[in-house]
């Protein structure tokens, strides 16, 4: 769907040349929610602005739906942009226009008649959950509602791709979650390909299927969200994963567990992927004469399934504990016996 080859952008300033994007290669499949994460200055904004030619590349190519975006002239680019919607951190709404008229704006530019426009705007207002707010002005809306207007406007011309530039960074955590839910809903309902940039791993965890980690204009790591969360290779990726799964209490808790639970076995269970859940725990206590105590841990959900770690104690007769551990090992759960800090 989107194919990016050797994409580079150099900004020439008075003092120096800045290589914001550096020979970047990326393939994004149709219908995917693809997240690009990086710290400030990594080149994310430049990257996403290159995708719809808000910036012109210094080198490289971008193909979207088999169209070479990089070589389009102004007229063709205007048409191509109707297929690429974009939402922004600060919404970029027209403050003197109502919600209805903001959403109608790209339809006016595309030359749609007023009757058709009004119908389409009503559909979009419904889709983003703003029924009854069509005549409000942006200043009368909350941040989350403003972003809903931004999303409706971006979807007005039925784009194939939605670009999200830090779309939830100005919102509080609850509103962030409701906007992320809306993006997942739209992705599923419309089969829309979504490319988003963010500095928050929570956003990646909650809605992305694939993730790329960007540093100094380059992609240093990429893949399926669950794989990257489970087996981060680069230091920068580990830091991002820690934003979500970091456990500052781990060492303290394990020491306490080792001091407190002297009988039976302490196990670390690593849950990975969609079939895993805590049903295993009840299954074990039903099938074996073993008491299972949950001691410490964290399980979280991604679009690619649940993952996380639980520390448990198996108590009972040695033979039964052994059998229970064997059983755990036969499932997709990774097991470590007597884990150490
Ligand atoms: N118009 C510009 N002129 C000169 N340098 C620029 C321009 N835009 C970006 N840069 C530089 O390019 C590099 C990448 O910036 P960019 O804004 O793409 O990063 P970012 O990852 O989006 O960071 P942030 O989240 O802080 O915006 C930075 O060093 C920045 O100073």
Distance in Å, CA 178 to ligand 1 centroid: 28
Residue-number span of the structural domain to which 321 is assigned? 250-337
How many structural domains does the chain have?
A: 2
Whether 327 and 223 share a structural domain: no
Distance CA 177, CA 155 (A): 20
Whether 240 and 283 share a structural domain: no
Q: How many CB atoms lie within 10 A of CB 233?
A: 12
Whether 47 and 70 share a structural domain: yes
pLDDT in tens, 232-277: 899 999 889 888 877 777 777 777 787 788 788 888 888 876 555 5
Distance CA 234, CA 105 (A): 44
**Dihedral, CA atoms, 89, 93, 98, 100, nearest 10 degrees?**
-80
Whether 240 and 296 share a structural domain: no
Distance CA 117, CA 191 (A): 23
Among 244, 273, 289, which residue terminates a domain?
244
Whether 115 and 216 share a structural domain: yes
Whether 184 and 105 share a structural domain: yes
- Rounded to the nearest 5°, which phi and psi values hold at 257? -65, -45
The residue whose CA is least distant from atom 31 of ligand 1 is 41
Whether 188 and 275 share a structural domain: no
Question: Residue 242: what pLDDT?
Answer: 84
Pair 306, 300: CB distance under 8 Å:
yes
The residue whose CA is least distant from atom 26 of ligand 1 is 40
Distances (CA, A) of 16 to 11, 13, 19, 307: 8, 5, 10, 45
pLDDT in tens, 181-233: 999 999 999 999 999 999 999 999 999 999 999 999 999 999 999 889 888 89
The residue whose CA is least distant from atom 5 of ligand 1 is 11
Distance CA 332, CA 280 (A): 10
Residue 313, pLDDT > 70, answer yes
Res. 121 pLDDT band, cuts 50 70 90: very high
pLDDT in tens, 19-72: 999 999 999 999 999 999 999 999 999 999 999 999 999 999 999 998 999 999
CATH number at residue 134: 3.40.50.300
CATH number at residue 319: 3.30.70.260
Mutate to test the pocket of ligand 1, among 37, 38, 45 (most ligand atoms within 8 A of CB): 45
pLDDT in tens, 148-175: 999 999 999 999 999 999 999 999 999 9
Whether 303 and 185 share a structural domain: no
* ipTM confidence score: 0.96
Task: Confirm whether pTM is higher than 0.80.
Answer: yes
Distance in Å, CA 48 to ligand 1 centroid: 11
């Amino acid at each position: 769907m989107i194919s990016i080859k050797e994409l580079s952008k150099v900004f020439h300033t008075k003092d120096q040349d800045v290589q914001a994007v550096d020979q970047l290669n990326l393939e994004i499949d149709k219908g995917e929610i693809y997240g690009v994460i990086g710290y400030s200055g990594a080149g994310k904004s430049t990257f996403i602005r290159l995708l719809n030619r808000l910036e012109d590349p210094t080198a490289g190519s971008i193909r979207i739906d088999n169209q070479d975006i990089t070589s389009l002239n102004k007229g063709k680019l205007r048409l191509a942009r109707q297929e690429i919607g974009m939402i922004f951190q600060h919404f970029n709404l027209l403050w003197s226009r109502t919600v209805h008229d903001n959403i109608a704006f790209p339809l006016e530019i595309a030359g749609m008649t007023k009757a058709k426009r009004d119908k389409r705007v009503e559909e979009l207002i419904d889709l983003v959950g703003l029924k009854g707010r069509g005549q409000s002005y942006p200043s009368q809306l909350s941040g989350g509602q403003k972003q809903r207007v931004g999303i409706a406007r971006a979807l007005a011309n039925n784009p194939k791709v939605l670009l999200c530039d830090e779309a939830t960074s100005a919102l509080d955590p609850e509103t962030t979650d409701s906007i992320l839910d809306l993006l997942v809903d739209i992705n599923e309902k419309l089969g829309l390909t979504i490319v988003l940039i963010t500095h928050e791993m929570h956003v990646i965890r909650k809605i992305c299927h694939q993730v790329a980690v960007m540093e100094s204009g380059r992609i240093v790591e990429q893949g399926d969200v669950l794989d990257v969360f489970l087996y981060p290779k680069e230091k920068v990726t580990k830091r991002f994963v820690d934003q979500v799964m970091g456990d500052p209490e781990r060492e303290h808790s394990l020491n306490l567990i080792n001091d407190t639970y002297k009988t039976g076995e302490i196990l670390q269970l690593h849950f990975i992927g969609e079939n895993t859940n805590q049903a295993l725990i009840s299954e074990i206590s039903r099938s074996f004469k073993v008491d299972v105590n949950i001691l410490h841990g964290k399980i979280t959900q991604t679009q690619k399934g649940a993952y996380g770690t639980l520390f448990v104690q198996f108590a009972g007769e040695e033979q039964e504990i052994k059998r229970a551990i064997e059983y755990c090992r036969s499932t997709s759960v990774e097991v470590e016996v007597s884990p150490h800090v």
